[in-house]
């Protein structure tokens, strides 16, 4: 992870709920918000990983609590929000970071069965919907709040390394972002999204050549990586804390007039 060098306290006195916070972008985001003064609800389906991130924050002098949650389950999400608000306080910031890939789904639509399609959409699209449904009414009642959804370059265009279900879920998340921004902006709640490209996370590494099931598959993955790299103006993949910085900006008062935006954080790989 790159050195954050955080000196501001933009979230002092606020509560931030971060999903997918056991690793990758979610962990970096939890650390960033804690560095900036937030009390952080560290949420992940990996309970041990969530507690590990929360402990890391506490060791650094911050305030955090770990929570286990499968965001694809509506009832569990509803219970989670109640647990967080009992343990910390009403939620001021929601960062929907949790997501799964579909890195096996390169063989075409005929190879995607119902279960695989449903699982990817359940985590990547239903999960943010469930969390927003549980959190936004309280934010609106208090007249302030911010939501940042982590979509993807795939949602803006297509996925170079993931499958069809992943691309569809991330595009749907951008639609959800825009509609909620329209509905809730007048009630003091801003809803935005970021669209990362390649980020050095466990999910990205799971789709690399080392995860191939055959030499032919490995060669195909290497070709995809090489093509991806050729088109990148900044010739490296992102570090998770670079994505966390963008999330923190959109959630902060520095972005007080930014609403319904899909912010590309991909080094110029996609320009619009």
Contact 234, 267 (CB under 8 A): yes
Helix axes 127-142, 164-184, angle to 10 degrees: 10
Catalytic pick from 166, 184, 228, 257? 166
- How would you label 195-207 residue by residue, b for 16+ Cβ within 10 Å and e otherwise? bbbbbebebbeeb
Backbone φ, ψ for residue 44 (5° rounding): -160, 155
C-alpha triplet 238, 242, 247: angle, nearest 5°: 125
- HEC-encoded secondary structure of 138-200: HHHHHCCEEEEEECCHHHHCCCCCCCHHHHHHHHHHHHHHHHHHHHHHHHCEEEEEEEECCEC
Residues 6+ apart with CB under 8 A from 161: 101, 103, 204, 207, 221, 224, 225, 228
Contact 242, 265 (CB under 8 A): yes
3-state secondary structure of 113: coil
What span, in angstroms and rounded, lies between the C-alpha atoms of 171 and 104? 19
The question of whether 166 is a catalytic residue gets the answer: yes
User: Active-site residues: which are they?
Assistant: 166
């Amino acid at each position: 992870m790159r050195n954050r060098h955080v000196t501001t306290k933009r979230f002092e006195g606020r509560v931030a709920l971060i999903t997918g916070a056991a690793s990758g972008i979610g962990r970096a985001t939890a650390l960033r918000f804690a560095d900036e003064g937030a009390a952080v609800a560290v949420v992940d389906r990996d309970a041990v990983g969530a507690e590990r991130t929360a402990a890391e924050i506490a060791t650094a002098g911050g305030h955090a609590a770990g929570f286990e949650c499968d965001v694809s389950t509506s009832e569990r999400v509803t219970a989670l929000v109640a647990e967080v608000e009992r343990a910390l306080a009403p939620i001021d910031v929601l960062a929907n970071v949790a997501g799964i890939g579909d890195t096996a789904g390169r063989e075409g639509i005929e190879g995607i069965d119902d279960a695989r399609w449903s699982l990817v959409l359940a985590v990547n699209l239903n999960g943010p919907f469930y969390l927003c449904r549980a959190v936004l009414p309280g934010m609106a009642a208090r007249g302030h709040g911010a939501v940042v959804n982590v979509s993807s370059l795939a949602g803006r265009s297509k996925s170079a390394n993931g499958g069809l279900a992943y691309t569809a879920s991330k595009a749907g998340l951008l639609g959800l972002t825009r509609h909620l921004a329209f509905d809730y902006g007048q009630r003091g709640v801003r809803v935005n999204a970021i669209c990362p490209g390649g980020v050095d996370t466990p999910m990205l590494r799971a789709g690399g050549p080392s995860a191939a099931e055959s030499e032919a598959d490995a060669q195909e993955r290497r070709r995809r990586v090489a093509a991806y790299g050729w088109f990148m103006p900044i010739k490296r993949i992102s570090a998770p804390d670079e994505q966390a910085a963008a999330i923190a900006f959109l959630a902060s008062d520095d972005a007080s007039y930014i609403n319904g935006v899909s912010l590309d954080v991909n080094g110029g790989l996609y320009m619009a």
